[in-house]
Amino acid sequence: LIVMPTHDDHPLLEKWLGTVTASIVSTAPCHVLVLPENNIPRQLNTLAYATDLKETDSYHIWEVSKLLEPYHPIMRCVHWQSDRGQTKPIDMSDLENFFADNVPALQINFHQLSGADLADSLNEFTDTWAVDLLVMSSPYRGFWERLFHASQTRKMALKTKVPLLIVREEG
């Protein structure tokens, strides 16, 4: 686990080239915890897990729940879709049923968001639900993949208002 601080205002050059934290988020082979300026968590009551409903998400959600088990947080799984994307609601029942059948002690709720920008939508969600920790999973990408991929986790690391745990998927 790598713990990285970040600050609120980024100079124009940093926004264009990226910060050290954003670079670490993109290249680290392990989990990364991003701590925004003036938001060091004192307690962990509620966490949000941003999911894109991949098959591996149930494993990573379970992994995070085991890691944070001593805190007994309420977990809110959030799926976001762009306003410009699909218009039909996503069926999250498979994920809900998996956790209802296999992880009875976990307090878990499922939410769907839509909006023009993922980072803005997640920040609004964290404000609305008093989220203490936001979790996102990210696959490890090689140099060429990073070069041509617009990383949502990297973008979120620059805009997050709450601590952000990036769970690195094994590549």
Query: Using one digit for the tens of pLDDT, what is the confidence trace for 17-47?
Result: 456 777 777 777 788 888 887 777 778 999 9
Query: Can you give the pLDDT at residue 125?
Result: 94
> What domains can be seen in the chain, in order of their start residue?
2-169 (3.40.50.12370)
Query: Can you give the pLDDT at residue 115?
Result: 80
Q: Is the separation of the CB atoms in 32 and 163 below 8 Å?
A: no
Averaged over successive runs of 10 residues, the pLDDT of the chain (171 residues) comes to 74 54 76 83 88 70 84 87 60 65 71 84 93 84 55 76 85 55
SS3 of 84-151: the string is: CCCCCCCCCHHHHHHHHHHCCCCEEEEEEEEECCHHHHHHHHHHHCCCCEEEEEEECCCHHHHHHCCC
Query: Can you give the pLDDT at residue 127?
Result: 94
